[in-house]
Amino acid sequence: MKTTFSALTRVQAAVVMAAAAVFLVWCVLAVRGGPLEIRNTTPKSDGRMYHSVVQRLHAGEGYYDSLGSELRKGEYASRSVFNWRTPFHLMAVAAMTEPVSRYVLAGLALIASLLAGIATNRGGGLGVLQFIVTMLALSECFIFNQSFNFHLIAEVWAGALITISVGAYAFGWWPAGVGAGIVALFIRELALPYAVVSWLIALRKRNMPELYAWTAGLVGWTVYFLVHAHLAMSHITEHDIVLRVGWIHFGGPRFLVETVRMSLLNALPTWVAAAILPVILLGTAGWATSIGRRVAAVDVGYMAAYSIVGLPVDLYWGAITNPLLAFGLVWSVPALRDLFRALLRSRGPVATIEGGATMRHVGEAAA
């Protein structure tokens, strides 16, 4: 399991380690500031509110009438268009029925975990371990208890579909990768960073069929979202609650850590997630394959976006990024190993090529 860090000089490795240490300290200090300043004070949880919407859809009521009524009952800030979820997700759940949708989500999560394991294995990593870690990152998809409504949380579906898209690219199945990514975008607009990064990668590779497919999907989604925004605004009244803070919140590392805790880490102290996040990002940066670079670019995009946009109550956003961060957790051990080896190495760096093979040391005589 060679990583990109095996090719670093001692000075470069020291710089990387210093930057990681600074970010780790920043994260740990950020979570010591006490509870987040904004709490969810709505009488209903999001899951229960969306469950009520689905029940009303089953009864034949229109989507925007149902959603608007439940937003107001739940005392949500319904004056904000962004609190009106796009209709595809809940209407699909209503069409499948909730019991069936739970199993469909679990099936998607299982496919995502299998593809993630195979992608890591093809890159020279521990595929079985990746399968297990991704399953844990998507663990909310396998909860069938009626008390839990994760199948009604759009971010959970989007996270599973984005992981499937990444896995499809590991096989070179770009049509499946585009398809899964676009469906994720129609389910939740928070999949937009993934779609944009994938569009840029297709542009850079000059893969014109893939580029056209992503472009068509993005244009179609833009029209869809604008129509949705128009319909949502037409249902907003002067009595709807106004969002008292802006979506631009600059949560920084504190919000990033909280989104990472949208996982099994929620049962552990916050500082554990704060310490793990920099290690995960190091692992992601060290994955020396084209899929690794795709995941790293997407993770950077999301980390940058989440550092600026998002309210402290938007912790469900972590359901989109955590399955991708699971790759970094698996690759963090070989990444740290190669970093320490580079720090202790007295001769030139080792060049790493696609697939994990290595070339001879710089300056080393050929055998």
The model's pTM: 0.89
pLDDT 10s digits, 186-234: 999 999 999 999 999 999 999 999 999 999 999 999 999 999 999 999 9
Of residues 361 and 252, the one with the higher pLDDT is 252
For residue 184, pLDDT over 50 is answered with yes
Cβ pair 88, 187 in contact under 8 A: yes
Taking the CA atoms of residue 28, residue 138, residue 135 and residue 199 in that order, the dihedral angle to the nearest 10 degrees is -90
Taking the CA atoms of residue 78, residue 79, residue 85 and residue 86 in that order, the dihedral angle to the nearest 10 degrees is 140
pLDDT 10s digits, 252-281: 888 899 889 887 787 788 888 899 999 999
pLDDT band, residue 363 (cuts 50/70/90): very low
pLDDT 10s digits, 42-96: 556 888 899 999 999 999 999 999 999 999 998 888 888 889 999 999 999 999 9
SS3 content of the chain, % helix, strand, coil (to 5): 70, 0, 25
Q: DSSP readout, 67-126? A: HHHHHHHTT--TTSGGGS--SHHHHHHHHH-HHHHHHHHHHHHHHHHHHHHHHHHHTTS-
Measured distance CA(299)–CA(301) in Å, rounded: 5
Burial class (CB in 10 A: 0-12, 13-18, 19+), 81: middle
Q: DSSP readout, 39-75? A: ----SS-HHHHHHHHHHHHHTT--HHHHHHHHHHHTT
Give the three-state DSSP class for 352. strand
For residue 122, pLDDT over 70 is answered with yes
pLDDT band, residue 250 (cuts 50/70/90): confident
For residue 1, pLDDT over 80 is answered with no
Measured distance CA(26)–CA(367) in Å, rounded: 47
Measured distance CA(271)–CA(258) in Å, rounded: 10
Measured distance CA(282)–CA(289) in Å, rounded: 15
Chain centroid offset of residue 117 CA: 17
Measured distance CA(182)–CA(165) in Å, rounded: 9
Measured distance CA(85)–CA(88) in Å, rounded: 9
Task: Encode burial over 309-348: b for 16+ CB neighbours within 10 A, e otherwise.
Answer: bbbbebbbbbbbbbbbbbbbbbbbbbbbbbbeebbebeee
Amino acid letter for position 205 = K
